[in-house]
Amino acid sequence: MDWLKGMNSVVEHIEENLTHPIQYESLSRIVGCSVYEFSRVFSFMAGMSVSEYIRRRRLSQAVFDIKNGREKIIDVASKYCYDSPTTFTRAFKELHGTTPVSARKTSVSLKTYPPISFTLTIKGVNKMDFRIEKMGSFQIMGLSGYETLDTPREGNITGTWAPFMADYDQKLRDYYAAPYWQVGASDKKYINGKMKLTIGAEYKGEMVEGMEIETVPAATYAVFSFQYPVGYAIYEENYARIVTEWFPTSGYKRDDDGMGLEVYADHWEIWIPVLSK
């Protein structure tokens, strides 16, 4: 399935399941990438996270149920997957500027967000530097944290990484003088709505207290190189370019058994496990 058809199929799946729980793993499988990569592609292309898009669509449809239907507010909240009327009312007011009760009883201005659609645009003007590299299994020693689609860079990765590095002795800083790796970006690391990520350096056989070991399986990688400066928006744009520009024309497919990597040195690299052509 090409990316354009895949992304529009994602929108169709969301529309068909606004009143049911939506699993991000199911959405990523439609496009053919990991949850981690899918979240960046969707955010870049839609201008909002997938969770925010789903929230807007549910609250847009809830407006019509409240204005035109006879359902109780508590039933409308449950219908659109809110666990309590209080949570629903808070989200509704945040989006529409009024409560569900006021929306039903008064003629207030309300918002609606129609379903989006993805169309073909002209891309490929900027070059993409890549190489194919086979890597045997190796280990990373570092700190682990969690990232969700709603609160990226959550947990240890931002909460304790900088102070941890600052407080340790020169031995640790020497250990991390080499390029460091981010390990994750795999559905096997996406559990209960969170993606486990480990940031560290290649393990050299000398354990540092407070660290943990992450084993990276052997795989063939498509490696994409980007120059600094980079920021979170640039991450999303380049993941989107890889999925929408490179994969459709390369003949490679993502290896779902592999583990996605990022490398930070004098430049930034994205390593995506691929199946050989």
Contact 8, 36 (CB under 8 A): no
Tell which wins on pLDDT, 51 or 161: 51
The mean per-residue pLDDT over the stretch 141-148 comes to 76
Please state the φ and ψ torsions of residue 264, each to the nearest 5 degrees: -120, 120
Q: Is the confidence at residue 29, as pLDDT, over 50?
A: yes
- Map tokens 């309300």 to a residue: 110
pLDDT of residue 153: 46
Please state the φ and ψ torsions of residue 223, each to the nearest 5 degrees: -110, 125
Contact 213, 95 (CB under 8 A): no
**268 beta partners:** 226, 264
Every domain of the chain and the residues it spans? 3-105, 129-275
> For a pLDDT cut of 90, what percent of the chain falls above it?
29
What topology is assigned to 129-275 in CATH?
A: Multidrug-efflux Transporter 1 Regulator Bmrr; Chain A (3.20.80)
Tell which wins on pLDDT, 233 or 119: 119
* pLDDT tens for each residue of 70-79: 889 999 999 9
CATH number belonging to domain 3-105: 1.10.10.60
Model confidence pTM above 0.85:
no
The rounded radius of gyration (Å) of the Cα atoms in the chain is: 22
pLDDT confidence bin for 89, thresholds 50/70/90: very high
